[in-house]
């Protein structure tokens, strides 16, 4: 009785740590503490589970601890080596592995059922099948998202003609087979369950295949919610309250974030999933196409004597690992009395909060980070807007060109600043694959080169003033 009390107390504390950690993750200032707290909650839940007496269990701790040691070592090494630019890929892999775990657990229970080693009520069978299908879709969908984000797979290599129609047919077939397996009960057999697993795995891959690159932040959030739902379903299978609560928290958080991301893009989730935005469409070129460059010295003078500057970071900042150099430029300008802010677009980068994480790593004070509406208000009176690796989120075509794939998406109106300096490697289009008329506007000046090298040289110019 005493052991059960302490185990249940540990589970309760683990859940409290999950919720508290999730709350702290909502702000860059407290995100590190939240992550540590949630990890501590997971460790406590694992420890409580290992000490929980289970009737008929073999308690083979050698296999369990061996698996934990191998997995922990891989996770530790991977997390130490992963670059900030690869964080979205890592998140995709984590989502996928969570889904794969649910698939394995569901298949084990289904095989026990079909072999006559266990019995399931209707609700238990439904949950097992849900864990199997959702987990399989999450696994292959997340793995393809990883391959796309890492540049290993191009959209055109995995997309078929009428792919969306094919996806609808596959979804109907998957749901129909799931219902059929459920109705067959214990008589369905292992082969039918394996068939359902394979079909779900194929559908997960096909589901992500036609979604354009610029929609990947939304897809990652959605797959994250799927991984949470699969974990919750696995919790129901084994009657684990902590797995259920943890999975529901992840699923709910991922769903809310997905909705917020869609709102930030002014599009519905259905439109994201079937619209193919970011798949390489192009807007018509309009007006003067002359690019005006600026020298490092002129850019430094423009910034040094400005009253207000708004930096707009994008994926290029992450690629160049230039966040700390950008903070140095910020410090130099602030010491000269310049009001420095950062305009953060909700879908800048390759995953939700990507820019916030980068800037937090460089110790940029959180009050300097402005959300979309605040940044657009600040840009109206800004002397200089500096674009560091951003592209699609500052594209005026979203407001001016009905033929653009991003038309209707809220963007940062950097062109409303008195002057715009764009730090960019080349004139190549952004992740959405479309041209940006901002680069040709009269108040825009291009500063070509690697962002880290350019910002370092810019800092040197500012120090000499």
For the annotated catalytic residues, the residue numbers are 392
User: Which long-range CB contacts under 8 A does 6-15 form with residues at least 24 apart?
Assistant: 7/48, 7/51, 7/52, 10/44, 10/45, 10/47, 10/48, 11/45, 11/48, 11/241, 11/242, 13/41, 13/44, 14/41, 14/42, 14/44, 14/45, 14/48, 14/242, 15/41, 15/241, 15/242, 15/245, 15/246
* Length of the chain as a residue count: 465
Contact 155, 279 (CB under 8 A): yes
166-184 burial by CB neighbour count: b if 16+ within 10 A, else e? bbeebeeebeebbeebbee
Whole-number Å distance between alpha carbons of 231 and 131? 8
Residue 198 in contact with residue 132, Cβ under 8 Å? no
């Amino acid at each position: 009785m005493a052991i059960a009390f302490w185990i249940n107390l540990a589970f309760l504390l683990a859940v409290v740590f999950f919720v508290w950690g999730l709350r702290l993750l909502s702000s860059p200032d407290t995100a590190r503490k939240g992550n540590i707290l949630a990890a501590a909650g997971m460790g406590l839940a694992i420890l409580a589970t290992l000490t929980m007496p289970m009737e008929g269990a073999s308690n083979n701790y050698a296999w369990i601890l061996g698996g934990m040691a191998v997995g922990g070592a891989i996770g530790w090494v991977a997390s130490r080596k992963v670059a900030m630019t690869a964080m979205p890929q890592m998140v995709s892999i984590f989502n996928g592995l969570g889904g794969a775990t649910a698939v394995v657990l569901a298949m084990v229970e289904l095989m026990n059922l079909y072999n006559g080693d266990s019995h399931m009520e209707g609700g238990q069978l439904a949950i097992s099948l849900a864990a199997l299908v959702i987990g399989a879709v999450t696994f292959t969908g997340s793995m393809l998202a990883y391959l796309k984000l890492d540049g290993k797979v191009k959209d055109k290599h995995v997309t078929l003609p009428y792919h969306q129609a094919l996806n609808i047919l596959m979804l109907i077939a998957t749901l129909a087979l799931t219902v059929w397996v459920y109705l067959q009960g214990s008589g369905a057999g292992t082969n039918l369950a394996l068939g359902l697993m394979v079909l779900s795995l194929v559908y997960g891959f096909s589901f992500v295949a036609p979604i354009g690159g610029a929609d990947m932040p939304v897809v990652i959030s959605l797959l994250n919610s799927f991984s949470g739902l699969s974990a919750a379903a696995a919790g129901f299978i084994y009657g684990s309250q902590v797995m259920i609560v943890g999975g529901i928290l992840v699923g709910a958080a991922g769903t809310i974030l997905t909705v917020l991301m869609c709102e930030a893009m002014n599009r519905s989730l259905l439109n994201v999933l079937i619209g193919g935005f970011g798949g390489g469409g192009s807007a018509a070129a309009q007006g003067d196409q002359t690019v005006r460059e600026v020298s490092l010295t002129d850019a430094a003078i423009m910034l040094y004597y400005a009253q207000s500057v708004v930096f707009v970071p994008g994926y290029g900042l992450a690629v160049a690992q230039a966040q700390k150099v950008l903070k140095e430029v910020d410090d130099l300008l602030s010491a000269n009395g310049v009001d420095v802010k950062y305009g953060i677009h909700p879908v800048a980068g390759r995953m939700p909060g990507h820019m916030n994480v980068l800037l937090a790593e460089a110790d940029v004070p959180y009050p300097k980070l402005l959300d979309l509406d605040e940044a657009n208000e600040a840009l109206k009176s800004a002397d200089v807007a500096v674009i560091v690796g951003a592209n699609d989120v500052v594209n005026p075509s979203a407001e001016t060109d009905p033929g653009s794939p991003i038309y209707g998406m809220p963007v940062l109106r950097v062109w409303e600043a008195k002057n715009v300096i764009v730090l960019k490697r080349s004139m190549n289009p952004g992740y959405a694959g479309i041209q940006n008329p901002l680069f040709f506007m009269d108040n825009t000046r291009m500063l070509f080169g690697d962002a880290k090298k350019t910002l370092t040289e810019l800092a040197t110019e500012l120090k000499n003033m």
